[in-house]
Amino acid sequence: MLSRSVGRSGGCHAEHRYHYKEFNDFPMSFASEREKFHFSRHLSKNAVSLGGSVKSNGENANPFEVCQSCAGQMTKNRPLQVEGTRSFNSLQQHKVLFTLRQGFTLVELLVVIGIIAILISILLPVLSGSRQKANQIKCMSNLREIGQALSMYAASNDGFLPWGFFHTPDFSGDTEDWSTLLLHELHGNIATDYDSVAKAGNQDVRKMFVCPDAPQPTAQSVLLCDYSCHPRLMPDSGTADVLSGDPALYLKPYKIAQIARSSEIALIFDASVKNAPEYENPGGNTGRWSSSVCAFALDGGRIYRGTFLTDRYNSDAADPGINAGDPISLVPFPSGDVVFTNTDADKNYGNIRFRHMKNSQANALMIDGHVASFTLSSSLIPNMVRGNIGVNPPPK
């Protein structure tokens, strides 16, 4: 009978005890070269050295080791095949007792950590891009909803678009804008003037005017809006109609049916926002970000000069070379401070804002009701051209 007990081995990182109880004439040949390889070579740092010598057919055998692969077979009750028809199961048939503590090496841990780091570096930009795309899609959905409300308003008002901003010359009377007019159209119980809207506290119904990529307010406001309208098609009631030749005349909203190239003209679009006006909290931060409801600074404030945002490009004496295919200007108006180009700041107030997809895209509701996305290059040149904002003068 063969019996062996081994204490701690220098070739293994774990303490173990290993006992064989077998017949006297146990053959030391193997069923395959693989088993011979496992039993005769040190295949792992964690191999269990048995040492000593074993008599096989009357001869002394060389010391041998058991690698973890074989140890795994033993602990899983898998029989090891040997010469002839016999096999042994070290845990059941021949009562082999084997215990071994196993763990990860430092190299293995570093490899796993490296793989995880690589996966994270790949996934984070994808997830970030997906979130930005989702925000842009939500913004486009807002604009489509606004477009439907505009169609309802026009149907109720002889085909006319709403005022962009309506007020008395001295601002002493009721003040309203296109957002309050549309909410009144959608919810008849909501008044249109600012004072009534403020008292009603209708923050929830104004969600369609809030872009998810715009700076989010930290204080409640009933007048939040992240979009601006075309200042000629939906004008400020205080903007003079210079083209008429009569300084006493002011711009009025267009009829939708009067607008040529309706699929090319942007009506409502992403706008720059700033913190609440100084008169609400002089010198402080109110946390109420909002846009100018009319984009008075569009194309460098051209509503006040040159073409007056019409398609009469040869009428701009100051810039006679402009045409419909030229990119619009994003230079802040009236400050002219290019440092604030395409930012949410007081000096860029009243302008279109390319805020989506890392400040490279802007959404716009077109006259015919579809929503388009315009792109801004790294050199701050947009693919929105003057043909997208220059409209035909209204018929007299």
Among 85, 103, 121, residue at a domain's last position = 103
CA–CA distance from 220 to each of 22, 142, 172 (Å)?
A: 84, 20, 25
pLDDT value at position 335?
A: 92
- 357 occurs within a structural domain: yes
Q: How many domains does the chain have?
A: 2
Dist CA 356 CA 375 (whole Å): 9
Residue-wise pLDDT tens digits, 92-118 = 444 443 444 457 788 888 999 999 988
pLDDT-derived band at 327, boundaries 50, 70, 90: very high
Task: Give yes or no: residues 88 and 156 share one domain.
Answer: no
Residue 11 has pLDDT above 70, yes or no: no
Q: What is the mean pLDDT of residues 176-199?
A: 82
Task: Give yes or no: residues 238 and 292 share one domain.
Answer: yes
Per DSSP (E only), the strands in the chain are 48-49, 55-56, 59-60, 65-66, 80-81, 87-88, 165-166, 176-177, 227-229, 266-270, 273-274, 290-291, 361-366, 371-375
Q: What is the mean pLDDT of residues 60-80?
A: 45
Dist CA 241 CA 381 (whole Å): 30
Enumerate the β-bridge partners of residue 226. none
Residue 177 has pLDDT above 60, yes or no: yes
Residue-wise pLDDT tens digits, 271-301 = 999 986 544 555 555 667 889 999 999 999 9
Q: What is the mean pLDDT of residues 122-134?
A: 80
pLDDT value at position 246?
A: 84
Task: Give yes or no: residues 51 and 159 share one domain.
Answer: no
Task: Give yes or no: residues 177 and 285 share one domain.
Answer: yes
Task: Give yes or no: residues 221 and 275 share one domain.
Answer: yes
- 58 occurs within a structural domain: yes
- 316 occurs within a structural domain: yes
Question: Which helix (H) or strand (E) is 110 found in, with range?
Answer: helix 106-156
pLDDT value at position 288?
A: 75
Instruction: Report whether 162 contacts 178 (CB < 8 A).
Output: yes
Task: Give yes or no: residues 42 and 161 share one domain.
Answer: no
Residue-wise pLDDT tens digits, 211-264 = 999 998 776 666 789 999 999 999 999 999 988 878 789 999 999 999 999 999
pLDDT-derived band at 302, boundaries 50, 70, 90: very high
Going by C-alpha positions, the residue among 209, 234, 381 that lies closest to residue 296 is 234
3-state secondary structure 190-227: CCCCHHHHHHHCCCHHHHHHCCCCCCCCCCCCCCCCCE
Residue 151 has pLDDT above 50, yes or no: yes
- 208 occurs within a structural domain: yes
Backbone angles phi, psi at 351, to 5 degrees: -115, 160
Task: Give the position of tokens 């009562």.
Answer: 95
Task: Give yes or no: residues 25 and 78 share one domain.
Answer: yes
- 44 occurs within a structural domain: yes
Task: Give yes or no: residues 225 and 350 share one domain.
Answer: yes
Among 72, 103, 134, residue at a domain's last position = 103
Task: Give yes or no: residues 263 and 368 share one domain.
Answer: yes
- 119 occurs within a structural domain: no
Instruction: Report whether 205 contacts 187 (CB < 8 A).
Output: yes
53 vs 147: which has the higher pLDDT: 147
Residue 269 has pLDDT above 80, yes or no: yes
- 290 occurs within a structural domain: yes
Q: What is the mean pLDDT of residues 330-355?
A: 95
Residue-wise pLDDT tens digits, 14-63 = 333 333 333 334 444 444 565 555 545 543 444 444 443 333 344 444 44
Q: What is the mean pLDDT of residues 331-345?
A: 95
pTM > 0.85? no
pLDDT value at position 318?
A: 66
Least confident of 123-127, 173-177, 376-380: 123-127
Percent of the chain with pLDDT over 90: 45
- Segments forming the whole domain that contains residue 40: 1-103
261 vs 175: which has the higher pLDDT: 261
Q: What is the mean pLDDT of residues 358-369?
A: 96
Going by C-alpha positions, the residue among 232, 207, 235 that lies closest to residue 143 is 207
Residue 371 has pLDDT above 90, yes or no: yes
Task: Give yes or no: residues 196 and 313 share one domain.
Answer: yes
CA-angle at 5, arms to 81 and 72, nearest 5°: 40
Task: Give yes or no: residues 73 and 173 share one domain.
Answer: no
Q: What is the mean pLDDT of residues 181-206?
A: 76
Least confident of 82-91, 190-199, 367-376: 82-91
Task: Give yes or no: residues 2 and 99 share one domain.
Answer: yes
- 127 occurs within a structural domain: no
Buried b (16+ CB within 10 A) or exposed e, 8-42: ebeebbeebebebeeeeebeeebeeeebeebbeee
Among 103, 127, 151, residue at a domain's last position = 103
131 vs 163: which has the higher pLDDT: 163
367 vs 130: which has the higher pLDDT: 367
Residue 78 has pLDDT above 50, yes or no: no
Q: What is the mean pLDDT of residues 167-174?
A: 81
pLDDT value at position 353?
A: 98
